[in-house]
């Protein structure tokens, strides 16, 4: 998978993409992430990428030209499956959505700022709009990092233990059951006996019951 991210804050991605699973995915050659500073595509001498909204009102709007030029350049180099705009009014990201997106080859992600982006970009360039939840962030960067993580971690081969990503909460429509590790008794707080029993069938049953119980309690709409 190749992901091209258009942003005015490329440094914001330094942290999230240089550790843990995404770092390993990059090292294994399973994903390439390319950051593009939208300001590099500004033709304005002050490198401006935003301007006042027509019709007046508060806030600035991200201009069409620098973003369109950057996307045009990328599209001339390869075919893209989706051009995703990260925006609070987009489709809500959930596990099925991340699963589908993890199958794509080439993806562009556009991080918005200010009051929004010129509507003509949404009409003529954007193929998908995604939000990571019903709250407002300062910009699309953190949302893009979240979206990338959710897509990349489930690419086959990224997580060593193949079953691990599939047993995540939400992957089977259930929240994951509780987990424990040593010591079996910490100051009198004991691990459930069944997990120490070595009885695989009982353990599987217990885990499933716990998953259903948790899902009913925490996400009643899911079961």
66 interacts with ligand 6GU by CB under 6 A? no
Q: Least distance in Å: CB of 6 to ligand 6GU? A: 13
Judge contact between 83 and 71, C-beta under 8 A: yes
Site for ligand 6GU (CB under 6 A): which residue of 55, 79, 123, 136? 136
**SS3 state of residue 189:** strand
Closest CA to 147 of 84, 79, 68, 67: 84
Q: How far is it, in rounded angstroms, from Cα 87 to Cα 110?
A: 9
- Sign of the torsion formed by the C-alpha atoms of 131, 135, 141 and 144: negative
Judge contact between 132 and 28, C-beta under 8 A: no
Pick the closer one to ligand 6GU by CB: 121 or 143: 143
Site for ligand 6GU (CB under 6 A): which residue of 143, 145, 148, 154? 143
53 interacts with ligand 6GU by CB under 6 A? no
Q: How far is it, in rounded angstroms, from Cα 124 to Cα 202?
A: 55
Binding residue count for ligand 6GU, defined by CB under 6 A = 12
Pick the closer one to ligand 6GU by CB: 135 or 189: 135
Q: Least distance in Å: CB of 137 to ligand 6GU? A: 3
Q: Least distance in Å: CB of 88 to ligand 6GU? A: 4
Q: How far is it, in rounded angstroms, from Cα 34 to Cα 108?
A: 9
86 interacts with ligand 6GU by CB under 6 A? yes
132 interacts with ligand 6GU by CB under 6 A? yes
Q: Which residues bind ligand 6GU (CB under 6 A)?
A: 86-88, 131-133, 135-137, 139-140, 143
């Amino acid at each position: 998978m190749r992901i091209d991210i258009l942003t005015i804050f490329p440094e914001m991605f330094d942290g999230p993409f240089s550790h843990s699973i995404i770092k390993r995915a990059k090292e294994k050659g399973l994903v390439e992430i390319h950051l593009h500073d939208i300001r590099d595509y500004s033709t304005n001498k002050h490198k401006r990428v935003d301007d006042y909204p027509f019709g007046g009102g508060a806030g600035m709007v991200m201009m069409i030209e620098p973003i369109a030029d950057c996307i045009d350049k990328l599209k001339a180099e390869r075919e893209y499956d989706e051009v995703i705009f990260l925006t609070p009014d987009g489709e809500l990201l959930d596990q099925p959505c991340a699963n589908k997106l993890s199958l794509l080859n080439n993806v562009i992600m556009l991080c918005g700022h200010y009051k929004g982006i010129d509507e003509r970009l949404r009409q003529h360039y954007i193929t998908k709009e995604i939000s990571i939840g019903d709250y407002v962030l300062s910009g699309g960067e953190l949302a893009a990092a979240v979206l990338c993580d959710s897509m990349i971690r489930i690419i086959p081969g990224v997580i060593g233990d193949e079953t691990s990503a599939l047993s995540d909460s939400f992957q089977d429509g259930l929240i994951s059951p509780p987990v424990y590790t040593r010591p079996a008794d910490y100051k009198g707080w004991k691990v459930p006996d069944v997990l120490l029993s070595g009885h695989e069938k009982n353990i599987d049953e217990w885990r499933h019951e716990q998953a259903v119980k948790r899902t009913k309690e925490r996400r009643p709409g899911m079961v």
